[in-house]
Amino acid sequence: MTKGIFPVDKLDKIETPFYYYDIELLKKTLDIVKTETSKYGYSQHYAVKANANRTILATIAAAGFGADCVSGNEVKAAINAGFPASKVVFAGVGKTDKEINLALDYDIFCFNVESLPELEVINELSGKKNKRTKVALRINPNVDAHTHEYITTGLNENKFGFSLSSLPNVVKVLKELQYVDLIGIHFHIGSQITEVETFKPLCEKVNELQTFFEKEGFDLTDINVGGGLGIDYDDPNANPIPDFAGYFAIFNQNLQLKNKQKLHFELGRSIVAQCGSLIARVTYIKHGESKQFAILDTGMTDLIRPALYQAYHKVENISSNLPEQKYDVVGPICESSDTFVKDYSLNECKRGDLIALRSAGAYGEIMASQYNLRDIPKAYFSNKLQAEE
Ligand code: LLP
Longest dimension (CA), the chain: 71
Reported as a single tens digit per residue, the pLDDT across 277-289 is: 999 999 999 998 9
Tell how far CA 166 is from the center of its chain.
28
CA of 191 to the centre of ligand 1 (A): 5
Task: With beta carbons less than 8 A apart as the criterion, state whether 98 and 109 touch.
Answer: no
How far apart are the two ends of the chain, measured CA to CA in Å? 27
Task: With beta carbons less than 8 A apart as the criterion, state whether 3 and 318 touch.
Answer: yes
Residues, the chain: 389
Pick from 240, 231, 234: nearest CA to 5 = 240
- In sequence order, what DSSP letters do the residues of 239-292 get, joined into one string? -SS--HHHHHHHHHHH----TT-EEEE---HHHHGGGEEEEEEEEEEEE-SS-E
> Does CATH place domain 2-18+274-381 in 1.20.1290.10?
no
- Atom 4 of ligand 1 has which residue's CA nearest to it? 188
Minimum-distance ligand 1 atom for the alpha carbon of 228: 15
How many separate helices (H) and strands (E) can be counted in the chain? 11, 16
DSSP H stretches of helix in the chain: 8-11, 23-40, 54-62, 72-80, 97-106, 116-128, 167-176, 200-215, 244-254, 269-272, 305-309
Q: Mean pLDDT over residues 151-178, rounded? A: 85
- Atom 22 of ligand 1 has which residue's CA nearest to it? 191
Cis peptide before 17 (omega within 30 of 0): yes
Ligand 1 mutation target, pool 43, 44, 49, most atoms within 8 A of CB = 49
- Atom 5 of ligand 1 has which residue's CA nearest to it? 188
Angstrom distances, CA of residue 222 to CA of 166, 242, 269: 20, 25, 23
Q: Is the pLDDT of residue 105 over 80?
A: yes
Reported as a single tens digit per residue, the pLDDT across 199-256 is: 999 999 999 999 999 999 999 999 999 999 999 999 999 999 999 999 999 999 999 9
Task: With beta carbons less than 8 A apart as the criterion, state whether 56 and 231 touch.
Answer: no
Angstrom distances, CA of residue 23 to CA of 20, 157, 288, 306, 338: 9, 40, 40, 24, 29
- Atom 8 of ligand 1 has which residue's CA nearest to it? 227
- Atom 1 of ligand 1 has which residue's CA nearest to it? 226
Looking at the DSSP bridge assignments, the partners of residue 252 are none
The count of C-alpha atoms lying within 13 angstroms of the C-alpha of 243, restricted to the half-sphere facing its C-beta, is 10
Question: What does the buried/exposed string (b/e) look like for 346-363 if buried means 16 or more CB atoms within 10 Å of the residue's CB?
Answer: bbebeeebbbbbbbbbbb
Instruction: Identify the helix (H) or strand (E) that includes residue 20.
Output: strand 18-21
CA of 284 to the centre of ligand 1 (A): 35
Reported as a single tens digit per residue, the pLDDT across 50-104 is: 999 999 999 999 999 999 999 999 999 999 999 999 999 999 999 999 999 999 9
Residues having CB closer than 6 A to ligand 1 are 47, 49-50, 68, 91, 151, 188, 191-192, 226-229, 266-270, 305, 309, 363
Question: Who's near 293: CB < 8 A, 6+ residues apart?
Answer: 284, 285, 286, 287, 327, 328, 329, 330
Reported as a single tens digit per residue, the pLDDT across 304-314 is: 999 999 999 99
What is the C-alpha separation between 218 and 184, in angstroms, rounded? 9
What is the C-alpha separation between 88 and 106, in angstroms, rounded? 10
Instruction: Identify the helix (H) or strand (E) that includes residue 45.
Output: strand 43-47
Domain 23-272 fold is TIM Barrel (3.20.20)
For 75, other C-beta atoms within 10 Å of its C-beta total: 24
47: DSSP letter: E
Minimum-distance ligand 1 atom for the alpha carbon of 362: 24
Predicted pLDDT of residue 259? 86
Reported as a single tens digit per residue, the pLDDT across 261-272 is: 999 999 999 999
Strands 276-287 and 354-357: antiparallel
Minimum-distance ligand 1 atom for the alpha carbon of 266: 9
Predicted pLDDT of residue 356? 98
Task: With beta carbons less than 8 A apart as the criterion, state whether 199 and 270 touch.
Answer: no
Q: Over pLDDT 90: what percentage of the chain?
A: 92
| pTM, entire model | 0.96
CA of 227 to the centre of ligand 1 (A): 7
Computed over every residue of the chain, the mean pLDDT equals 95
Ligand 1 mutation target, pool 195, 266, 274, most atoms within 8 A of CB = 266
- Atom 6 of ligand 1 has which residue's CA nearest to it? 227
Minimum-distance ligand 1 atom for the alpha carbon of 308: 24
- Atom 23 of ligand 1 has which residue's CA nearest to it? 363
Ligand 1 mutation target, pool 191, 272, 274, 369, most atoms within 8 A of CB = 191
- Atom 19 of ligand 1 has which residue's CA nearest to it? 151
Task: Domain ranges for the chain, please list them.
Answer: 2-18+274-381, 23-272
Pick from 319, 314, 302: nearest CA to 354 = 319
Minimum-distance ligand 1 atom for the alpha carbon of 91: 3
CA of 389 to the centre of ligand 1 (A): 26
CA of 271 to the centre of ligand 1 (A): 12
Q: Over pLDDT 70: what percentage of the chain?
A: 96
CA of 91 to the centre of ligand 1 (A): 12
